[in-house]
Amino acid sequence: MRYAPFVKRLENKGSRAWEIHGAGLERIAKGHDVIMLSIGDPDFETPSGIVEAAVASLRAGNTHYSWIEGSPELRRAIAERFHRLNGVAVGADSIVVTQGAQGALFSAMVCVAGPGDEVIVPEPMYVTYEAVVGAAGATLVTVPLRGERGFHLDPADLAEAVTSRTRAVLLNTPHNPTGAVLSRDELAAVGAICRRHDLWLISDEVYATITFAAPHISPATLPEIADRTIVVESLSKSHAMCGWRVGWIVAPGELPHHLYNLGLAMHYGLPSFIQTAAIDAVRSEDAAAAAMRETYRTRRDLVADRVRNLPLLDCVVPEGAMYVMVDVRGTGLASETFARRLLDEADVAVLPADGFGPSGAGYVRWSLTVPTPRLEMALDRLGGFARRMADAGAITAR
């Protein structure tokens, strides 16, 4: 049977990043006590008030078709949240609710880029970006994020990558997998490039509430590029609601109209009872989000302090998000080899960071999404693994 060319555009090498995760799950099935640090699913429970709001909505019979673009009340609540977090007012008619941030990324991309276009993405990058760009029929163009810069984007690299075919730039701040948080000056430099070349700027801000060293700044708050900035957000990380699949787009211009038409063809709206719970989440997030952020900060500091005192290893201390990039170059092992051996010999699953892009070579991504006692146990295992390698004498410590 024949398939559309579209299906080929969904296949990409980024999916290999998850092979270690799958291998870890297989070891668990065989009885191993594997500590899974390979996925960004928060270990917190969804706050009980949100759960109860969903249950009450179900019992009230809210199981019928809902608003395709999101209920008016939910969109108003999201607009209020955006103003509260960013200090910039947006209208509820600029908000379109989607099936998670992933649905938002896909929807935004297919509405602004197509065959013959290029989309620039800094790498390392979240592994689904390549498929999202490919699904739109566009070509992915990457620019490097270098460890010696703390994985911050060099605007000169971005400017050099722009061609007559470039249609959009896709940014992620705070960044997965590196934890870099872009400053206002850095975003202004990116914005100047987008304005000069008439480009869309898609800003993935799912980790906006998880920052440590520097505040999150949305490029949509910069007046000179607000009309070309598409913001993607969700409740997955801020509220431990990954499985609820609630995301949204802050969409300028006529984009909400196009997103409505896409939703009509694709999902026909989120379930009503989930939208009701999302209203509760958006309006009551501050305490829960702050508590999660401080827990991640404590875990980040624990990992950074321990790793930096181990032979052969180092790390880049993240400014946000929920991951640490552990530098394994001192071991002489490739990222995937290191991750494989750490899993096989120490029952700790981390992701090889070059699965997120070539600039991640020599690093592994260590997730902070397990309870602190398990995190300490994983660090003990990592320490034993590193000391065994150092004792073998194959490589000298940094």
Cα(107)–Cα(182) distance, rounded to whole angstroms? 24
Confidence at residue 214, expressed as pLDDT on a 0 to 100 scale: 86
The DSSP call for residue 18 is G
**Taking a C-beta distance cutoff of 8 angstroms, is the pair 247, 207 a contact?**
no
Query: Can you say how many angstroms the Cα of residue 182 is from the centroid of all Cα atoms in its chain?
Result: 14
Q: Is 315 helix (H, G, I), strand (E, B) or coil?
A: strand
Is the same domain home to 121 and 185? yes
Q: Write down which residue in 284, 318, 344 finishes a domain.
A: 284
Is the same domain home to 164 and 298? no
Distances (CA, A) of 65 to 54, 98, 267: 16, 15, 11
Determine how β-strand 323-327 pairs with β-strand 351-352.
Answer: unpaired
Task: Identify each DSSP E strand in 48-162 by its residue range.
Answer: 95-98, 118-123, 139-144
Measuring CA to CA, which residue among 100, 107, 104, 121 is closest to residue 12? 121
Does the residue 155 lie in any domain? yes
Sequential pLDDT tens for the chain (398 residues): 888 888 888 877 655 667 889 999 999 999 999 999 998 889 999 999 999 999 999 999 999 999 999 999 999 999 999 999 999 999 999 999 999 999 999 999 999 999 999 999 999 999 899 999 999 999 999 999 999 999 999 999 999 999 999 999 999 999 999 999 999 999 999 999 999 999 999 999 999 999 998 899 999 999 999 999 999 999 999 898 999 999 999 999 999 999 999 999 999 999 999 999 999 999 986 677 888 999 999 999 999 999 999 999 999 999 999 999 999 999 999 999 999 999 999 999 999 999 999 999 999 999 999 999 999 999 999 999 999 999 986 544 43
Is the same domain home to 192 and 81? yes
Q: Write down which residue in 240, 257, 284 finishes a domain.
A: 284
Does the residue 50 lie in any domain? no
Domain that holds residue 301: 6-45+287-389
Q: Write down which residue in 237, 269, 284 finishes a domain.
A: 284
- A 10 A CB-CB count for 11 gives 11
**Taking a C-beta distance cutoff of 8 angstroms, is the pair 178, 324 a contact?**
no
Does the residue 398 lie in any domain? no
- DSSP letters along 200-264, please? EEEEE-TTTT-BSSS----GGGSTTTGGGEEEEEESTTTTT-GGG--EEEE--TTHHHHHHHHHH
- DSSP letters along 44-55, please? SPPPHHHHHHHH
* 218 token code pair: 């949305």
* 137, burial (CB in 10 Å: exposed 0-12, middle 13-18, buried 19+): middle
Does the residue 246 lie in any domain? yes
Measuring CA to CA, which residue among 281, 241, 216 is closest to residue 101? 241
pTM: 0.93
Does the residue 223 lie in any domain? yes
Is the same domain home to 251 and 279? yes
* 334 token code pair: 């490739």
Is the same domain home to 128 and 149? yes
Residue with token string 């004498």: 393
Confidence at residue 86, expressed as pLDDT on a 0 to 100 scale: 94
Does the residue 187 lie in any domain? yes
Is the same domain home to 262 and 305? no
Beta bridge partners of 119: 140, 168
Cα(93)–Cα(275) distance, rounded to whole angstroms? 16
Is the same domain home to 161 and 232? yes
Beta bridge partners of 184: none
CATH of the domain at 29: 3.90.1150.10
Number of domains the chain is built from: 2
Does the residue 58 lie in any domain? no
Is the same domain home to 94 and 229? yes
Cα(312)–Cα(382) distance, rounded to whole angstroms? 11
Is the same domain home to 112 and 143? yes
Is the same domain home to 150 and 189? yes
Is the same domain home to 325 and 217? no
Is the same domain home to 340 and 267? no
Does the residue 190 lie in any domain? yes
Q: Which residues of 206-234 are buried (b: 16+ CB within 10 A; e: fewer)?
A: bbbbbbbeeebbbbbbbeebbebbbbbbb
Residue with token string 């930096």: 308
CATH of the domain at 117: 3.40.640.10
